[in-house]
Structures are given as C-alpha cells and as structure tokens.
Chains A and B, each alone.
Chain A
Amino acid sequence: MTKIFIYGIDGAPPELIFDRWKADLPNISALIENGIHARMESTIPPATNIAWNSMLSGQDASKIGVFAYTYKDNDGNTRLVSSNNIKTELIWDILGDKKRTISLFVPLSFPVRPINGMMVSGFLTPDIDSDCAYPKELKEKIKKLGSTDNFFDVTQGLAGHKSLDIDTLLKRTYEMSDMQTTLMKDLITSEDWDLFITVLIGTDRLQHMLWQHFDQTHRRFIKDSKHKDALKDYYIYLDKKLGEILNLLDDDTIIIVASDHGMARQEGKININNWLMQEGYLKLNKDIKEKTRFKFELIDKSSRAWATGAYHARIFVNKDLEDWQITLEEIENKLKLIPDDKGEQLNTKVFRKEDIYDDPDAEGCPDLTVYFDDLSWASNPDLGQEGLYSWETAVGADSAGHSRQGCFIIAGPGIKKGKLGVIDIRQIAPTLLRLLDQEIPKTIKHKPIEVT
C-alpha cells in the first residue's frame, strides 16, 4: 500500500534548493535526480497560513476563507484567525476513515480537531497548555523533548523576533527544529499512517532576517558578515535531518519535499496608506504624527479606499461609493505607476478579486491585491511614516520577503523522473488523493500532476 511522507520546508526558494546550494544538500539532490521536481506557484497572496492550507485542500484563499492573519468578529473587533476560520475540507477530512494521517506543525491547524490519525498544531499555537495536540497524550511526548516555550516557534516568550540578536535566533531555531524532527522520527516508526505531513518553519524565520548577510545583490548587503553561511548551514542541517528520516521510511513510501512560497531580497517598503492619502482616497479621523499601525478605527467615513497587508497590499474600496467601479479602476491604474525611490519604473502587479478568486464575494476578500515590483518591494500600511518609502515597519526591518514560487519535489516507488514546468499549489491535494487511490472531490477544480 502506498504511503506518502511530506517534508515541508517553509518558504524554501527554488533558486536556493534547485540551484545555488543543491550540491551541498545530498539528500534533497538525490530526490531531485531520482524523481520529479518543479517550481510551484503559491497562493495569492503567498502567505504561510493560506498557502499550506491551499496545498492540503486544492482551494484558493477565498474558498479557504482566510486572506490575512486577522478577521473582524461580530463586534467589529480585529481577531486572530485560527483553524475555526477554515471553510473548506482539508486532505484529512477528505480521506476520512479511509486513510490515517499524521499532521505535524501545519500552519493554522490550531486549535486541533479530532482526525483519523494524529495532529500537532503549528506556529500560531499559544502554548503547550492549549488545544495543540490530538490525541492530548501527545503533549507528554512533546514535554520530554525540551523547553516547550520554544517548541512551536522561535519567537515565543520573546519581546520580538526582529529585535533578537542573530546568535540567539539561530540557537532557538536549531533547538526548535531538533525537538520537532525528533517527534517526527518517533511517530514515523511508532505509529501506523498512510499520509505523514510536516512543516518546518525555521527557514522562514531565518530568511527574513539573514538575506542581506549572504546575497551580494541586496541593497543593504553586509560584507564579510560572520553570519554569511548561517542560512546555508541551516539548510545543510535540514538536509541531514531529512536523510535520517529517509532511513526510517519503508520502501513503499513516496517522499515529497515542498515549500509554500519562495523568498526574495526586499528592496524596501511602499507606504501604501500614505499614498492613498496623498492621492485623496484615504482620510483619517485623527492627526497621526508618530509611527502607528494602521487600524480600521482610524478611517474617516468619507474615505474612498484604504489598505492593509504587509508584503503584499490589500486594497478595499468603500462599498458605499456611487462611483465604486470608476474609483477601483483609477486606483488600479495609478498603483502601477508608482516608481521606486530612485524614480525607476516597477513591475507592479495588481489583481482584481474576480480575476483571481473562485469566490470573490467571500467575507474579507480585498477588491485589489497588489504585488509591488512583483513582491521585490513590500507594502507598509503603517501610518505616521514620512513620504512614500520606508525601510522598516513600526516593528522593525526586513531582509527578505515572500516571493511567488516555492519548490515541489516528489520521488519514490512508481514516480517518474524529470523536471516539470511551473505547477500550481492547488494541484497537490488532488495529486495526493490520486496516489492514495482515493476519489478526488468535484469541488477540487485543479488537476493532479502526472507523476507516475
């Protein structure tokens, strides 16, 4: 019987895995050589909490019902999203009692729900005392691994990831990954399963902070940094852990290595709400002088549009406008003309909701989604910023941001060899179902990848 093991590496960019560091990653290289690999187009937006759930459902953000890390509750308060916000069936729901799934650290799986198998939630988990494990007895195994403060994410209990010195960040990232991979190895051998899904978040945490230490093309490149090899070393560590895991798997197991999005150096940030104010679309009901995070409560009722979203921008046009359509088109056209800080033209992409989503009427769906310079520039919705450009948000600087394409590698019994063109993240769930010999629900529109 076919089994599938997924080694998820959050934000691993194809440029690093398939090219730049391939020779240093013997286990990943062997899977590439012996199987199929492809660049994988992520969700719009390429956000961690949305993209992994898209991979595991075959659906886009509008069907999942999540566009950001927050949503508005009935009283208009901004609340954090959780697994309760997910509107679509995920792979373990579709497999039901036919196949047994173990899911470890999938983003947005907190709070966990009973499934046919086991589940430990991902980086949005508050702590070990919360609903983070199914069955609950798994918590006892986790407690034996080390400090649970550091188990779900490196930032837990810290003042702020971005204010953390890099040595501490690295130490915590390795501690977290050691504990997580130890749990993986334990459950691989001690439990029965058909599908085993894991997501390791350390790469994302390090990449946001370390990009300018190794990428010579970064505009804030740090020459001869003592951390210049730190990210590469972490990938080598992940590859070694993968090797240990491969040794534990049966011969009838298909291996997938995948990432939910890529990563690319960040040039800077465009102060999107400043721009909307400058163009006369946004008015605040208060005079803001200091750097302040954008809040809906600060929007004056006469405003025509406003924006949220770090990295990509989400634009909402006031629904009460008589000339809603004209305003939308105007903003769409003007956004594409915003230049960089040196006056150079940017390759900015603006998406209308009806062109990208299966359910453009879903609650919280932005009217426009904007990738400044195809995500090389980020959006900064903060208020009280000077001018149009900034180099850090109210919480700190960024070295890199998410890019559109992640990696997909599959190898094992019956899998062909070769390189494919770009695939879509929504093709993974139907591919898994076909490999496990299960029917693909009609609600999944994307076709499985031809891997056998």
Chain B
Amino acid sequence: MGAYALRRLLGIVPVLLVIFTLSFVLMRAAPGGPFDAEKPVPAEVKRNLELKYHLREPWCEARFLPALARPDLQPAAEKALRAENAWASRGERLCTGVFQYGWLLANYATGDFGPSYKYKDRSVNEFIAAGLPVTIQLGLVAMVFALIIGLAAGLVAAMRHNAWEDHAAMGAALLGISIPNFVLGPVLILVFSLTLFWLPPARWDGWQYMILPGFTLGSVYAAYIARLTRGGMLEVIRQDYVRTARAKGLKERVVILRHALRGGMLPVISYLGPALAGLFTGSIVIERIFNIPGMGRYFVDAALNRDITLAMAVVVVDAIFLLVANLLVDLALGLLDPRVRYDA
C-alpha cells in the first residue's frame, strides 16, 4: 500500500502540470495586457512593470525585434511596429511566453505565486493564506451537514424500503439535487436572517455564521449521499453475512450499524472525492452570496479584475487540494473494503 500511495502521489505531478499549462495558455492567449485597464503610465514605467512580471524578455526582443527594446517606446508606436513586422512580433511573443512559463513554473515549484497584478502591495501567497482556511472551514461544515443529513435520510429510506418514508426521503433528495444553491441561499437568508432574525446573513466571524452557508453548500451533497446510502444499503442488506448476523440473534440496530453500514457506506466514500471538487466550485457562489472572504470570492474578483496571477494560483492550489483529497479517499476505500487491491 505504501508503494501504491507513493505512485499515486507522483501521479499528481503530471496532472498539476496539465492544469498549470492550461491556465497559462489561456492567460497568454487572451487579448489585451493585464495593465490595459489602468491609468496610462509613462512608457518607461510600463516597460519596467512588464519586465518585472516577465511579460517582456530583453533576450527575446534582441533576437526577434530589436526595435522593441527602446525604453521610451509609446504604446501606439509599438502597435504600429508590431503590425509592420507581424512574424517577428509573433516570434517575440512566443519566445517571451516560453521564458515566462519557465519563470512561473520555477516560482510555483518553490511555493511562490508571485505578486498580484491588481494589488501590487500584496503577494498572491498572502491572499491564499487568508482565503484557503476560510474555504476549507466552509467545505468541512458543508460536508458534516451533508454526511449527517444524507446518511440519516438514506438509512431511513433503506430500512423502510418502498414505504412512505422511502418515497418522502427520495423526493426530498431529488429536490435537493434540483434546487440551485444560489436560489436556496437567498431564500434561507430571507427567512432565517431578515424575517426571523435567528442567524446572521453574511460574513464569517464564528459558528453562527457557518450554519446557513454550510447548509446551503451541503444540501446537494446531502441529497446525493442519501441516494447512495440507500442504494448501498439495499444491496448489502440482501447479502449472506447480514443474514448470518440476523440469524445469530443480534438486535436489528447492531445488524444495521455494525454489519450492514460498513459495506453500504462504500459508494458514499467513493463519492467523497468528486463531492470535494463540487464543494470548491460551489463555494465560489456561496462565498459571494454570504459575503465570505474565501478562495472562491478571491477567484471571481481576480478573474473579473483580470488579476491573472491570483486567479491562476487559486486554480492550481484548489487542484492540489482536490488531487490529494481524491488520493486520501482512494486509500480510505482500500482500508474499509478488503476487496480493493492496489497492485492491479
């Protein structure tokens, strides 16, 4: 198992490289530069900024289009120059891109995500250090909600197979899957915060702030977990070892919780990996609705501000978390299910 874990851990590296490359290519291919939306600065200042972020590479300029290397080159003049020498300009862009890719990759490898394009006094690492714990808390709260509600509903539905409890639980689950969290969230705020005044509608300052967002984010997963638990339990309950447990005269409660649940839980556990991916995506909108300062909020703001370094770092950091979480889920599955073999 140790060897298997190590191999899987190494397998994460190429996937991360794909994600990194994909977002890098998107960023390079996008029209317009990161500083276009700001107040025009003197050409020399802009040039120094671009040199700092490796958007310009003197070596590439010298190779392909030496006329670009003048520090006082105005944007309009640069545009004309590039239009005149289209192929040389493309070559210079590609060459710079390769350099920038290597530079960014080397920085990422050492855990340095560089400065933010938009907030020049703050590094991307600071944003992530502030946002990641909040998003992880939110995800954990949502997961706990989802597991408690989902397992309970699924167990009841399986125990009372085809009775009204079963239909009610499964109907509720389908409703949970269908109701978008950005509809549920505002409705819950309207009812519990603005009408009943029970819970705060926004921010992230303590346990009472976690209830509404956690429930909103977790409801979909509660629904899926309920369906998977029901399906898993219905399958397991017919098996011989459960019949044996009953025949021994064990109490029904013991049979279900001790014997059946362990097997019936397996589909739920293998679902936790994909669910985590969904939690990260879902937190984008939940953090916006409830005004929570987490990774999702930073990501959307960064994307809208064209703060590409920050947006890219969020994607890569989230991906690292997802991949590690998926690996842990697979290992847990192996510990719980003796039928899983790692050498295959």
Our verdict on whether A and B bind, yes or no, reads: no
Which residues from chain A sit less than 8 Å from chain B, CB to CB? none
Which residues from chain B sit less than 8 Å from chain A, CB to CB? none
